[in-house]
Amino acid sequence: MDDFRTKCLERALLVGTFSAIPHPVAVEVMAQSQPDFICIDWEHAQIGRERIEDLVRAADVHSVTAMVRVPGHAPEAIAAVLDAGAGGVLVPRVSTAEQARAAVSATRYPPIGSRGVGPGRAAGYGYRIPDYLAKANETLVLAIQVETAEGLANIEDIAAVEGVDLIFIGPGDLSVSIDAMGPAGKDKLDRAITTITSAALHAGRAVGIFRPSPADVGRWRRAGISFFALASDTMFLGAAVLDSLDAARKAGSSS
C-alpha cells in the first residue's frame, strides 16, 4: 500500500495546504517546504482541467503527494485528476451515503468500483496500464467532504460506506448550512465538528479538516482529527505580504 494512504488510514498526523494559484511555480515553492500533501483546488480556484496535470507534476518533482479537490461529483472529473497522476481525490458536498458510494465507484477500478481505464499520465500514457491497475485501488486516497446540514444529519450512514478512506470536514460551508457563522455560532459549529469526527472514527475512517491557521490544530488533533489542510498558497502569500509591509512601516516610522 502506498505510504501516503497508509499514513492516512493509520491516522498519522498529516499537515498540508490547498493550492489555488494556477501555476506550477506556486506548487513547487510550496512543495519545497515539504508539506505532507498539497490539495489542488479545482472546485474554488481559477484552475482549469488542462492545468491539473502540470500542477500534479510540479508536486511530484519534490516528492509531495498531490490530491485534487474536484468541482463536484461527476465521475469524469474524478477520473481526469486520477489519470493525471494525483495521489488522491477530495470530493466536496457529500451529504448522503448514496453520494459517498458513487465517489467510491468513480475512484476505484472494478471489481470495487467502475472507474474506466485510460492511457493517462498515471498509467505511463498507456505504457504501464497493467502496473497501474494492479496498485491503483490500494494506493489512491478517497476523501469525501462533509459540509452541509444534510451531511451532518446523515453522518453515521456516510461514515459506514466501505471504500471511503477519509472524511474531511469543511467548517466554512458547514457553518453556513447549520446557521453557525461567526463568534456566536462557534459552540454550535464545534459540536457539529465533534459529531462528525466521532461518527467517522467509530466507523474506522480517518478524519480531516480545513483550518485557516495552526492555532487550534492541537485541540482537534486530541479530538481524533489527523489530517489538516492548513490555509492555502493565496492565504499564506497575503498574510506574509501584510506582515512584512506592517513590519517595514513600523520600522520606518520609528527611525
The one-letter code for the residue type at 59 is A
Q: Is 202 a catalytic residue?
A: no
DSSP string spanning the chain? Answer: --HHHHHHHTT--EEEEEE-SSSHHHHHHHHTT--SEEEEETTTSS--HHHHHHHHHHHHHTT-EEEEE-SSS-HHHHHHHHHTT-SEEEE----SHHHHHHHHHHHS-TTT--PPP--SGGGGGGTSHHHHHHHHHHH-EEEEEE-SHHHHHTHHHHHT-TT--EEEE-HHHHHHHTT--TGGGHHHHHHHHHHHHHHHHHTT-EEEEEESSSTTHHHHHHTT--EEEEEEHHHHHHHHHHHHHHHHHHHHHT-
From the candidates 23, 44, 62, 73, give the one annotated as an active-site residue.
44
- Report whether 99 contacts 75 (CB < 8 A): no
Rounded Cα distance, 25 and 31, in Å? 10
- Report whether 198 contacts 155 (CB < 8 A): no
Q: Active-site residues: which are they? A: 44
